[in-house]
Amino acid sequence: MLISSAFAQSAQMATQSTAASFIPLVLVIVVFYFLLIRPQQVKIKQHQKMTSDLKINDKVITSGGIYGKITEIKDNITTLKIAKDVEIKIDKNQIANLDNRDEDKKESKNNKVKSKNNA
């Protein structure tokens, strides 16, 4: 009788310990989702929106670091003018970013002019 009750207690504790051992695993999966997977999905959606909104005369930067101006868009192929009389065709998904350097310079000039006028 004493032995059977000891086996019953150990079986009950084993059930509780296996359930408790899954809690850290579940927490790790949740943390990975919110820190790694979800931000990557958001970044992919933003890139897809950016590539779908591209239009002719947009200045862009490719994933290879080439700066150019879009001259033609056909399906997934984009033609970039990278120098006078030099055009290349690239896959639309290889466009990494819009090149906003000129706009940033204009904004900084406007801010300087405003600050001088305010002084």
For 96, residues 6+ apart whose C-beta sits below 8 A from its C-beta are: 60, 61, 62, 63
pTM (global) more than 0.75: no
pLDDT score for 12: 57
Nearest to 66 by CA among 55, 53, 78, 75: 78
Tell me how far apart the alpha carbons of residues 111 and 105 are, in angstroms, rounded to a whole number: 10
Mean pLDDT of the chain: 83
Angle at CA 93, nearest 5°, toward 91 and 95? 90
Q: Residue 24 pLDDT > 80, yes or no?
A: yes
- What are the backbone dihedrals phi and psi of residue 58, each rounded to the nearest 5 degrees, phi first? -75, 140
pLDDT in tens, 72-109: 999 899 999 999 999 999 999 999 999 888 766 666 66
pLDDT score for 100: 85
Under a CB-based contact definition with an 8 Å cutoff, are residues 59 and 51 in contact?
no
pLDDT score for 111: 64
Q: Residue 9 pLDDT > 60, yes or no?
A: no
Tell me how far apart the alpha carbons of residues 20 and 100 are, in angstroms, rounded to a whole number: 52
